[in-house]
Structure 1
Amino acid sequence: MEKHNAWKKFTWEPRIAYFSMEIGLSAEIPTYSGGLGILAGDTIKSAADLELPMVAVTLIHRKGYFRQQIDRDGWQREFPVEWNPERHLELLSVKTLVPIEGRDVKIQPWLYRVKSPAGGVIPVLFLDTDIPGNAEEDRHVTDYLYGGDLEYRLKQEIVLGIGGARMLNALNFNIRKYHMNEGHAAMLTLELLSNTRGRIDDPSEERAAWDLHRVMEQCVFTTHTPVEAGHDKFPWDMVERILPDIVPFSLLKQLTGNDAFNLTLLALNLSNFVNGVAKKHGEISKSLFPGFKIHAITNGIHSFTWTSPFFVQVYNKYLPGWANEPEMLVRVDNIPDEDIWEAHQGAKAFLFMYIEETTGQRFDPDLLTIGFARRSATYKRADLIFSDLERLLAIGDGKLQLVFAGKSHPKDLPGKEMIHRIHEKIAVLKDRIRIVYLENYNMDVAYRLIPGVDLWLNTPVRPLEASGTSGMKAAINGVPNFSVLDGWWIEGHIEGVTGWSIGPPPMEKSTSSNGDNHEDAQDLYRKLENTILPLYTGNRAGWIRVMKNAIGKNAYYFNTHVMMRRYVTEAYIR
């Protein structure tokens, strides 16, 4: 039951409104699919820790993204996620309206409070259209994350952007800045723009009647996608039929492009601060959108959320206060080697117990265990390590074991085929190298998997990894990265010190590449055979030194506390 005016205390001071299509706060609230949503959740948690005045807006996704099952032939199957918002969120009585296809669609908000041990509290509003009185099709607009067709996506983004801005106004929030986490929320700028129209006498001066500068001063935009095809675009005939008529289409085409309704261009044109999510990604974004000033603020992780309980105990003992001051991790050398190793062995046993419970496979704690878990998309090349099975067997037979996880978007057939190919390799190698593919990768599985492996593998095609926060989650748990030099790893990598690279150095030019599978695979095998395995099996002190460097040279910096301090000083108080 709603507490009377539960949100009122959050409206007493100006706030940063953080809009994201997906937000990952816990596995019990399955309103996320992967890195973008987890980043959003970690951002909000750090804002609470730092007691920053923020309010977050997202959609409720009553059916979640999907629950993944993999059949005995290795093919992914998708099922709706069953969860009850009433068990975790608080329904507020205030409603607002947004026109979709000429129909007034009611929107209601659910409130969740992200509470920090430091005392900060951040309200998160989950927008919901499943309300009696709405047309049946409109009631399901907020059901599935990234579900349905292009029309469904457009309607969702109208609810998030325009509906979200109207909801904040209906709840009397005083917003200082609007931060769009990716282009899905860009239509909030249209709602802001619709409130700036002045009077004009000359129709040819229509653009001047809208205060674009005023909207720009209120907006911050973070782009996450390093390829042109990844940006949301909608055909104009669809937009003219579905979008509410709050800004003239002649002006919209100036702001989003004549060829299509491009939400990234809309956000770029109406934001005073724009950033990519790693230094390299900032360069790529400038090449994709020449003429725009694009900064770079590298992503991070919420340190406490992603640290295994075994390392939490060690950090608490030797580095008290680290959770709210992760920069203290630079003092990791104060922790004895044996305590680091014991904590890692605890995390490893925790993962292996989960593997045995869910797959029946019993892993050997003495073998080098490599982890790979992220969305199954072809450019991430999850199967690169299987490029040459004879070479892999010569290197790893009886010496290493592999753990995979990750979902493919239901409509991404090549991504599903990659999962299937990995299962075929598992069957071929099963008597020589233990390999498992864990189902339904989510926050709970990641919390077990990432800290429990010895080495974190990442093999994207350069330069398509915008940032890549899974490697940061590994580093906070003393797990070194073995990765292609792309995204954040360009900044975090010191060869043989914080981990190891795969393939050539980063490209000088910010143009896309198809990658060289053979070259990268050969470098992977060479370093695994000649450097990584000998260090792990023959020089424990040397391996622990790399573990400590991952913590003290990577984890101390690549976290959302550092990231949020940069957003505050560079974007929010400009």
Structure 2
Amino acid sequence: MSDFKLGSFYPISEKYSKRVAYFSMEYAIHQPLKIYSGGLGFLAGSHLRSAYELSQNLVGIGILWKFGYYDQIRNQDQTMKADWSEKHYRFLQDTGIRYTIKIHEADVWVKVLYLAPEVFKTAPLFLLSTDLPENDYVSQTITHRLYDANEATKVAQYILLGVGGAKLLDLLNFDAAVYHLNEAHGLPAAFYLYQKLGTKEAVTEKLVFTTHTPEEAGNEKHSIYLCEKMTYFCGLSLDQVRALTGIQGDQFDHSLVALRFARLANGVSQLHGRVASEMWSHYPGTCKIISITNAQNWTYWADKQLYRYFNQGEDYLMDDRKYYLKKRAFELVADQTGKIFDPKVLTIVWARRFAGYKRADLLLQDEQRFLKLIENTCYPVQIIFAGKPYPMDYAAIGTFDRLVNESKKYKNVAVVVGYELTLSKRLKQAADIWLNNPRVPREASGTSGMTAAMNGAVNFSTHDGWIPEFINHGHNGFVVPPADYQHMQTHQQDEYDLNKLYEILEGQILPTYYDEYDTWRQILKNAMRDVRYQFDSNRMTHEYYELLY
């Protein structure tokens, strides 16, 4: 047995002394630790950083993905290629802890690695791995790829996170008062706790849940028989599971059951909290859903020089700093695409996970207007696209590749690969306009615009996620006025949003940037000020203790 002791990892604030275990499939903490895919991970990474800054009694539980999510590289024709290469981390500590859990009714060995708080200034993080010689090859592959496409492997990953994480807490004698599931992936922890504590009420007392998906279809469901076969329910019979969860059909809805097991849940923006409450209200036995708006860690993300000049009222130094940040970021664009961008030109960046509803190629849907925008010599623009689609989402990869091929026609349009933490920060520094145009109301929160504002970019967005809480149109950003989307068909919604995007871009944004730069700078400063405290994750992690725990 290992002699690893968690002990007191840093002085705990009295205000945040309640013991919390935070379960997440992914964490975007720092570029060298590649165990994240997108927004869920960016949120979890900021959460752990703020828990550290506020001295909270919280530990993170995650999985050490041997091949990460995937490396985004290019084919010969510049289109996207997904590549998986083994990752090595000398900064993680092998705790020596080894134990078994049941997956598919067989013993699977788990080893535990530890990210100590001082490495990246985070709350302690434990990462589980089944990549051990004691396991057969299939069991080893459980921790190979984040969000594996194979359904049985995916269910096994959930069991590892939930049951493996809960069992680890027992081995560490970390008696958590709260088990916080960041999305429903860690739900098997509830069945482990049920076997341990004996009643559903005792589990409910400890369990809270954050839901991130504002539509039923986006919440994962798997065959209840597959889940049983995989030992998801920790040895409970199907009859017991049905009685406990209220699931009567063949499909096991992870989010619904999480809402039935949890004491309290939260949506990740004010709008999403309302949408989620409405969405789940017709299911009996679900818990209350409150709103705690997502946020990002200011200490990690913000450009401190920009804020220093802002606080000193040094406008020209601010301009100079933004010019430098753009110039530096454009080196990366030139390196990848052979295109040299001009720091004086208004630069639009669209960069986030590629998914259909996020509409990466919306501006290109009106070819004539796009051409007019791109070829405008009076008000020139540059556009950069970036983001990683899910490696098996061929429609999203098709959109990415279409943008690559379109960009070859223009010297001022570029598509860059490798959208991870470092590139994300650089592109936010490159942006004058951070473009965000999801179909309303499908973006639960969306946090990329927060970190963009922390780096001197102005948000231009549809009225979704966190945006209604932030943007005051023309004052600290620009927003497409919401229409009666509920009574529109998808193509009508796309057409309306596209027209408004071009109207605002051509009629307000470009003239302000080029003809009234003092006004533009003021908008940028207002955004930097407004995002600073309201959307810093220190506010968010405080609210988790106050409102959820």
TM beyond 0.5: yes
Deviation at 1:378, TM superposition (A): 1.1
Please point out which of 272, 286, 305 is paired with 1:313.
Answer: 305
* CA displacement, residues 101-130 of structure 1 (integer Å, 9 cap, x when unaligned): 11111111100023399xx76210000111
Give the residue type in structure 1 aligned to 2:296.
Answer: I
Q: What's the counterpart of residue 191 of structure 2?
A: 190
Please point out which of 40, 48, 52 is paired with 2:52.
Answer: 48
Residues 485 and 493 in structure 2, CA contact (< 8 A), matched pair in contact too: no
Please point out which of 252, 255, 268 is paired with 1:277.
Answer: 268
* Structure 2 stretches lacking a partner, 5+ long: none
Please point out which of 420, 431, 450 is paired with 2:401.
Answer: 420
Aligned counterparts, 1:486-497, within 5 A:
486-497=464-475
Q: What's the counterpart of residue 106 of structure 2?
A: 103
Give the residue type in structure 2 aligned to 1:249.
Answer: L
Q: What's the counterpart of residue 351 of structure 1?
A: 329
For the residues of structure 2 that align with 1:558 and 1:247, how far apart are their CA atoms? 42
For the residues of structure 1 that align with 2:119 and 2:483, how far apart are their CA atoms? 40
Give the residue type in structure 1 aligned to 2:118.
Answer: K
Q: How many residues get paired?
A: 534
Bigger Cα displacement from structure 2, 496-505 vs 533-542 = 496-505
Aligned counterparts, 1:92-491, within 5 A:
92-115=95-118, 122-197=123-198, 211-243=199-231, 245-254=234-243, 255=245, 257-259=247-249, 260-290=251-281, 292=286, 293-308=288-303, 312-315=304-307, 317=308, 334-397=312-375, 398=377, 399-428=380-409, 430-431=410-411, 434-491=412-469
Question: TM-score, structure 2 length as denominator?
Answer: 0.93
For the residues of structure 2 that align with 1:74 and 1:253, how far apart are their CA atoms? 50
For the residues of structure 2 that align with 1:333 and 1:29, how far apart are their CA atoms? 33
Deviation at 1:168, TM superposition (A): 1.1
Deviation at 1:4, TM superposition (A): 5.3
Root mean square deviation of aligned Cα: 2.2
Residues 64 and 144 in structure 1, CA contact (< 8 A), matched pair in contact too: yes
Residues 44 and 114 in structure 1, CA contact (< 8 A), matched pair in contact too: no
Residues 299 and 558 in structure 1, CA contact (< 8 A), matched pair in contact too: yes
Distance verdict in 2 for CA 1:51–1:508, change over 3 Å: farther
Identity of matched residues, %: 32
For the residues of structure 2 that align with 1:497 and 1:505, how far apart are their CA atoms? 21
Give the residue type in structure 1 aligned to 2:188.
Answer: M
Give the residue type in structure 1 aligned to 2:305.
Answer: Q
Residues 461 and 514 in structure 1, CA contact (< 8 A), matched pair in contact too: no
Deviation at 1:514, TM superposition (A): 6.6
Deviation at 1:457, TM superposition (A): 0.1
Question: TM-score, structure 1 length as denominator?
Answer: 0.89
Residues 386 and 425 in structure 1, CA contact (< 8 A), matched pair in contact too: no
For the residues of structure 1 that align with 2:518 and 2:9, how far apart are their CA atoms? 51
* CA displacement, residues 299-321 of structure 1 (integer Å, 9 cap, x when unaligned): 0000121123xxx1243x46xxx
For the residues of structure 2 that align with 1:258 and 1:108, how far apart are their CA atoms? 36
Deviation at 1:390, TM superposition (A): 1.8
For the residues of structure 1 that align with 2:326 and 2:175, how far apart are their CA atoms? 47
Q: What's the counterpart of residue 324 of structure 1?
A: none
Residues 503 and 524 in structure 1, CA contact (< 8 A), matched pair in contact too: no
* Structure 1 stretches lacking a partner, 5+ long: 198-210, 319-331
Give the residue type in structure 1 aligned to 2:293.
Answer: T
Deviation at 1:70, TM superposition (A): 2.7
Deviation at 1:6, TM superposition (A): 4.9
SS in 2 for 1:94: strand
SS in 1 for 2:177: strand
For the residues of structure 2 that align with 1:396 and 1:557, how far apart are their CA atoms? 35
Q: What's the counterpart of residue 81 of structure 2?
A: 77
Distance verdict in 2 for CA 1:159–1:487, change over 3 Å: same
For the residues of structure 2 that align with 1:64 and 1:37, how far apart are their CA atoms? 12
Deviation at 1:256, TM superposition (A): 5.6
SS in 2 for 1:195: helix
Q: What's the counterpart of residue 570 of structure 1?
A: 547
Deviation at 1:517, TM superposition (A): 1.4
Distance verdict in 2 for CA 1:231–1:515, change over 3 Å: farther
For the residues of structure 1 that align with 2:78 and 2:437, how far apart are their CA atoms? 22
